[in-house]
Amino acid sequence: MTSKRDYYEILGIEKAASDTDIKSAYRKAAMKFHPDRNPDNQEAEEKFKEASEAYEILSSAEKRATYDRFGHQGLGAGAGFNDVNDIFQSFGSIFEEFFGFGGGGGGFGGGGRTRARRGADLRYDLALEFEEAVFGVEKEIEFERVAACTGCSGSGAKPGTARNRCKTCQGVGQIRRTQGFFSVATPCPACAGEGETIEHPCPTCRGRGRKKVERKMSVKVPGGVDTGLRLRVSQEGEAGSGGGPAGDLYVVLHVKDSDRFVRDGNDLVLAQQISMVQASLGAKLNIKGIDSEHSLEVPAGTQYGHRITVPGAGVPSLKGVGRGDLHVEFAVVVPRKLNREQRDLLQKFAEISGDDGAAGQSGFFQRLFD
């Protein structure tokens, strides 16, 4: 695995650099390696991505502090850009500030390109049974999304025809107006900033290149998930425009409560009722856990709220290694009614124990009998 270069080294700045220094250094790198200035130059494009990644981290006070302390490992695998269009989308305002136009292309007088835009992300809320969340499940979901038109393969042009370079902006997608020392770029009104026009629109999508469709798919939910967790399904969101990548689908999980267990992280808590006799004398119980039975020894003199832990009988870890524990919490149940024999035996027990309050009519056992 190739190690990443130091972000400060990439931008050619010191670790004590100010925000202004960071922005200035990135502007120089972006000017040098911008794809429009280096067409068909893969090395320049990679350096453009590298500099953009460095700027994304160092321009954020929080991310910069994490990087300074922990390095690349502290940022995880999410840092960086896979596509230059993601950079243009993220730093559009920065490129307008740097160059006077959006970063999507055409700014350096090259042949221009269609404005590729990433599609929107989608959200799907998925309800899970408690056991499904614990052990994992595969669910089929159905939702509506905007997808590339199958009639024109997303081009928007009628099959057999093609998109044309805009004659107004010459494919740049913007009109530049200069007055004195000032230059202002605005989206081309003829092509709406796309850089291309369609003379013969696709009859299926009417030139939009996209249309709404129903999507069915299976989603694998790993064991150990909980409410609020999001599963990212790459490029299952809405289709991009101008050849841009599709957005992502985020499946947000909602786990139903269990009628037997309370979840505490990866641990499970089970409330188990026992009689006052079992609590006093002790007992051997077979307890049904989430997926197996367990034989437990209830010690004599067990009090209300006492717990016995069964290691490794809880929720599987999302990391795929190990499980939480099962905590059996005892609730001592006192009978509401006693028959004559039970009452007599308990009164005898009270007398032996020196519990004088049990003999009177208003005593505890009298109330149970009544």
User: Which pLDDT tens digit goes with each residue over 318-362?
Assistant: 988 899 999 999 999 988 888 999 888 888 888 887 765 544 444
- What single DSSP character describes residue 241? B
pLDDT score at 104:
46
Give counts: helices (H), strands (E), the chain: 10, 15
Identify the CA nearest to 133 among candidates 265, 255, 258.
Answer: 255
Q: Is residue 186 part of a domain?
A: no
Strands 137-148 and 210-221: antiparallel
Q: Given a cut of 70, is residue 181 above it in pLDDT?
A: no
pLDDT range class, residue 94, cuts 50, 70, 90: low
Shared domain for 212 and 251, answered yes or no, is yes
177 located within any domain: no
Does 59 map to a domain? yes
Does the pLDDT value for residue 91 go beyond 70? no
Given its phi and psi angles, is residue 80 left (phi above 0), alpha (psi -120 to 50 degrees) or beta?
left
> Based on the structure, what is the number of domains in the chain?
4
Clarify whether residues 329 and 345 are in a common domain: no
Same domain, 81 and 95: yes
Check if the beta carbon of residue 152 is closer than 8 Å to that of residue 159: yes
Quote the domain boundaries for residue 226.
119-150+207-256
Looking at residue 112, what is its pLDDT?
Answer: 43
pLDDT of 153? 83
The pLDDT of residue 44 is 86
123 alpha-carbon distance from chain centroid: 10
> What number of other Cβ atoms are within 10 A of residue 18's Cβ?
10
Instruction: Examine the domain organization and report whether 225 and 134 are in the same domain.
Output: yes
How high is the pLDDT of residue 99? 52
Q: Is the pLDDT of residue 106 over 60?
A: no
Confidence (pTM): 0.58
Separation of alpha carbons 107 and 310, rounded Å: 66
pLDDT at 111 exceeding the cut of 50: no
Q: Mean pLDDT score of the chain, rounded to an integer?
A: 83
